[in-house]
């Protein structure tokens, strides 16, 4: 896989079927603003609806989470094989809300990343420090540790098919965005770590997430190690998402 610029919408537990219809009406009108890699992760129950809605566009659809298991007695879970079967392209893994609200550990993140890769899904592995960790000067320790542990044991022949998303927890949904210099410092350190653990770091996309908005996206994308965004709030409104995609397109 080669490094590319992406704009990934993480819809979390939002959007009704009606919202989805109007979202894509606006997207189809503004289609020429879409970047090559405009990806959206809806609620799982809407995956099929989105797969139908994006027909005729370049948008790719994925999941917000997946099981580390292939199949079996895991009530309420979704298998990466089933996601692939349906037409999903990628899955988020280890989003900070999964880690903090559902106790997901780095070992689970590694197992899920491995399962996603083995099933032909592109994992977007999310990492990020809390405010307390940043204030204690622990940002790089925490983030690089999450990268190392989250990628442990991934299959050798697919190890470069991953995407990393750096999302400082204090910036998610808060309106507080990391400054471009602050974000760039962490992105560069993540890239160096990827190289240390034997990945083709220069070929791996590293996204920034946490209050990415139309008015700050350009300054973030100017940073040499920021290869796009993982966007919550601003990806829910089609007109805002198109602005974000257009900014990404200008960097392709």
Note the residues at the interface with ligand PGA (CB under 6 A).
10, 167, 172-173, 209-212, 230-234
User: Which CB, 24 or 166, lies closer to ligand PGA?
Assistant: 166
167 given a catalytic annotation: yes
Query: C-beta of 232: minimal distance to ligand PGA in Å?
Result: 2
- The residue (of 82 and 238) whose beta carbon lies closer to ligand PGA is 238
- Rounded least distance, CB 149 to ligand PGA, Å: 20
What is the distance, to the nearest Å, from the Cα of residue 248 to the centroid of all Cα atoms in its chain? 15
Distance CA 209, CA 230 (A): 5
CA dist 252 and 249 (Å) reads: 5
Least distance (Å) between residue 241 CB and ligand PGA: 11
Q: Which of 133, 128, 132 is nearest to 147 (CA)?
A: 128
**Could you confirm whether 58 is annotated as catalytic?**
no
Name the residue nearer to ligand PGA (CB basis): 123 or 210: 210
* DSSP string for 91-145: EEES-HHHHHHH---HHHHHHHHHHHHHTTPEEEEEE---HHHHHTT-HHHHHHH
Q: Is 129 left (phi over 0), alpha (psi -120 to 50) or beta?
A: beta
**Residue number with the smallest Cβ distance to ligand PGA:** 232
Least spacing, CB of residue 173 vs ligand PGA, in Å? 4
Q: Judged by CB, which is closer to ligand PGA: 225, or 240?
A: 240
Annotated catalytic sites, by residue? 95, 167
């Amino acid at each position: 896989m080669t490094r590319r610029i992406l704009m990934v919408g993480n819809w979390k537990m939002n959007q009704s079927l009606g919202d989805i219809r109007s979202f894509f009406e606006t997207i189809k009108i503004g289609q020429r603003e879409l970047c090559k890699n405009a990806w959206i992760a809806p609620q799982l129950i809407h995956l099929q609806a989105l797969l139908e809605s994006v027909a005729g566009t370049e948008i790719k659809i994925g999941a917000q989470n997946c099981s580390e298991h292939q199949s079996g007695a895991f009530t309420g879970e979704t298998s990466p094989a089933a996601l692939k079967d349906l037409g999903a392209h990628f899955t988020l893994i280890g989003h900070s809300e999964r880690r903090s609200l559902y106790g997901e550990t780095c070992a689970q993140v590694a197992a899920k990343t491995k399962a996603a890769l083995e099933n032909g899904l592109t994992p977007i592995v999310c990492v990020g420090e809390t405010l307390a960790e940043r204030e204690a000067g622990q940002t790089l320790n925490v983030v690089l540790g999450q990268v190392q542990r989250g990628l442990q044991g991934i299959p050798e022949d697919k190890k470069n098919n991953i995407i990393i998303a750096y999302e400082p927890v204090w910036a998610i949904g808060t309106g507080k965005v990391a400054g471009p210099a602050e974000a760039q410092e962490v992105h560069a350190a993540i890239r160096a770590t990827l190289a240390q653990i034997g990945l083709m770091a220069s070929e791996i996309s590293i996204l920034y997430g946490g209050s990415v908005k139309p008015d700050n996206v350009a300054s973030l994308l100017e940073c040499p190690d920021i290869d796009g965004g993982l966007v919550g709030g601003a990806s829910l409104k089609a007109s805002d998402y198109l602005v974000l995609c257009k900014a990404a397109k200008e960097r392709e």
